[in-house]
Structures are given as C-alpha cells and as structure tokens.
Amino acid sequence: MDALVRPVVDPTFAAGALAFLLGGVALGTASGLVPGLHANNFALLLAGFAPSVPADPLFVGVAMLGAGVVHSFLDIVPALALGVPDAATAVAALPGHRLVIAGRGREAVRLSALGSGLAVALAVPLAVPVTWLMVRWYPALRAHLPLLLGGVVALLVLTESSRRAAVGGLVAFLASAALGFATLDADPAAPLSTGGVLAPLFAGLFGVPVLVEALGGEGVPPQADPRIAMRARDLGTSAGAGSLAGAVVGYVPGVSAAIAAVAAMPAVPRASADRGFVVATSGANTANTIFALFALVALGTPRTGVTVAIDRAGVPFALPVLLVAAATAACFGFALVVLVGDPYLRVVGNADYTRLSVGVLGLLAAVSYAFAGAYGVGVLLVAGALGLVPPRVGARRVHLMGVLIGPLIVG
C-alpha cells in the first residue's frame, strides 16, 4: 500500500524564516523611504556578514529577498515627495510628479502599490514558461547581446520627443558609457569590504541631479482624495505590461526597469498615460525581483544587486521557500505603501526642500564614501554633473543607463 504524502511544516524553521523575513522587510522599508539608499546596498552588506551569521544561509537569503521586494514597493514614495528616484524608478518621476502637481499624489501612491502587487501575482505563473523559453534561447541571446542592446539604445533615442532631445539623449548615453568604462572595473579602498562603485554611480546619475534641481523648491501642493481615476481594465493592462517588462529586466543584462517601462509604453492605454506609466514602471520594478530569482536558479546568472548578494552568500536555491518569502514580502510592501505613503507626502513634502536636499546630498556622499572611499565621492560628483544634462535638452535620464549598457555592448 502506497504511503500518503503529506506536507510537513517545521515550526522552528518557519519561525526562523519569518524572523529573518521581518528583518528584511525592515531593511527594505529603510532603503525604500530614505532617498539615495537601495536594497542592493543592504543585500551586499548581508552577503559580507553571512559567513559569520549563526543561522541557515537560506534565512539570510530570505532577508535579502524580502528587503528587495519591499524596497521595490516603497521607492516610489520618495520619488513622488522629493523627486529622488533610483535607477529603477527614475523614468517614473515626471509622470508621477505631474499627478502630484495636479493634487493626485495619494492616488499615484496607490496606483504604484497596485501595479507592484498585480505584477508579482502575474510574475509567479509567468516565470515558469518564460524561464523555460529563456533556458533554450539564452545561448543565442548571449551571442547577439551587443546587437540586442544596440537596438535598445536606438529605441530609446528614436522615441524621444524631438530631434534635439534625441541628440541630447545619444550624447548622454555616450558620456555615461565612457563613465562606465572609466569606473566599473575600479576597486578602490573603502571602509566597507563589500562596497563598490555602483552605489555612487547610480546615486550620482539619478539622485544628485534631482536633489540639486529641488533646491529652493516649494514642496508638495495640497493633495486630494486617494480615489483611483483609472478603469480596472486599463490598470490590469498596464500592470501586465509592467510584469512582462520585468521579465526582460530579469533576463537581459544591462536593461533596467526604467528602460523596460519605456518599451512597454505602447501597451499602456493612451487615455491613462501618466497613471498607466506609474503602474507599469512600478510593476516592472517589482516583477523584476521574481524573474531575476528564476534567472539565478535556472541560468546561474545574477541580474540584480539582491541576486548577486544571494549568489555571493551561498544561499541554497530552495525556490519554493524563496517564492513564499517574496510573496509574503509583497503583502507587507503593499500594506506599507498604503500606510506610510500619505503621511510621507504630507510631512516630507511640506518640509524645507533646501535643507532636506542638502541633508540627503550629504547622506549620498557618506554612502558613496562607505562603499568606495574618496574615489566614490569623486565618482558621485562627476556622475551628478552628468545627470544634470539630459533634462536640459528635453531628454529622459534613462539614457544614462549607458553606464552599464555601453561596456556590455563593447564586451
């Protein structure tokens, strides 16, 4: 007689995993709400400390993944209140700010939460067939990666709003690519052994410029009710486009959520362009955490800072446990966006922008020094100056992803 197969729950293991997940949620909340910080930074720090943590390495991976998922929900909040996006949400700043200026910031917060939540729900079932296809196509993709990335660059340039913006975007791409060539291979002495130049590079390209532009700003205007003025069908379409865009980010090197969201724009209903763009970008940013996890397990290729840290820490690829952790973290992330989004817009948005911007600039300098020493502060300054260029010619800052794409094209 065949024995019955029953699922077994280990209370000790479950309690340990939950404790580490809550720790990751706390870290992701801090990185998501503090401008200039990123979950990647905390994940890499955890990777450095992982060998000395007296716990199952899988628990450390659960904490890293939880931090990444929660961060991807919350990072839209400072982008709306302060205009300080990271690389993943930079492209959402203008549509999001238009909603804030129109008094619809509370709606934008909820649209972002729904976009992220729906994208996670779609990403889990989509990840299986997409991974199956990518396992078979990946050798061809790698062989033709320079051509593919060249097409991505052409798409970004050709979809600019004017010839001047297109030329400016191309110049910004080439300049950021040169910066990537000059800095990515550097190994500067720094207080943190798990540091690197990526933190000052992205903080400079996507954080410093908006902070400088915010100096003397008037803050957030009064916000209306949080009612969502977007049809459910349009919301679902935009979230689906974001989830598919997240799949591209998870498997194709050098393509960020911001770039993927630009490519997803044709699928966003024109009547809800700004709202749909916030939904799609948030969805791509969060779905990326799921697809990148599958890419790591199936292909052994970490695509995000969090998956790089998971790989470095020797976390076992227990996919069911990690997926449950990601789904649980997504529930926390959704609740946190709704709970803290409105107070954040009200309190931080009404603060003295000059003092706030100067304080956050100091924080970015300190983070850059911690991760890359004095060299990192220099990189922050150069990248910050470069990041001021695209808006001056009407171009999107997403072209500055050339800092990664350029070196990948050349190989």
Residue 83: per-residue pLDDT: 58
> Is 53 inside a domain boundary?
yes
Residue 181: per-residue pLDDT: 96
Q: Residue 131's closest CA among 307, 291, 286, 322?
A: 291
pLDDT digits (tens, 9 = 90+) for 114-128: 999 999 999 989 999
* The pair of three-digit structure tokens given for residue 173, joined into one six-digit string: 């791409």
Residue 332: per-residue pLDDT: 96
Please provide the average confidence, as pLDDT, over all residues in the chain.
86
**Mean per-residue pLDDT, 310-317:** 86
pLDDT band at 204 (very low <50, low <70, confident <90, very high): very high
Contacts of 3 (CB under 8 A, 6+ apart): none
Residue 86 predicted with pLDDT over 60: no
More confident call, 72 vs 88: 72
> Is 4 inside a domain boundary?
no
What is the percent of the chain where pLDDT is above 90? 41
Domain that holds residue 184: 9-218+225-408
> Is 123 inside a domain boundary?
yes
Amino acid sitting at position 77: V
Count the neighbouring beta carbons within 10 Å of the beta carbon of residue 203: 33
Ramachandran sector of residue 7 (left: φ over 0; alpha: ψ -120 to 50; beta: rest): beta
Domain count, the chain: 1
Contact 154, 142 (CB under 8 A): no
Residue 269: per-residue pLDDT: 79
pLDDT digits (tens, 9 = 90+) for 15-54: 888 999 999 999 899 888 877 677 677 777 777 776 777 7
> Is 1 inside a domain boundary?
no
> Is 3 inside a domain boundary?
no
Residue 297 predicted with pLDDT over 80: yes
Residue 8: per-residue pLDDT: 52
Residue 270 predicted with pLDDT over 80: no
> Is 2 inside a domain boundary?
no
pLDDT digits (tens, 9 = 90+) for 241-251: 889 888 888 88
> Is 229 inside a domain boundary?
yes
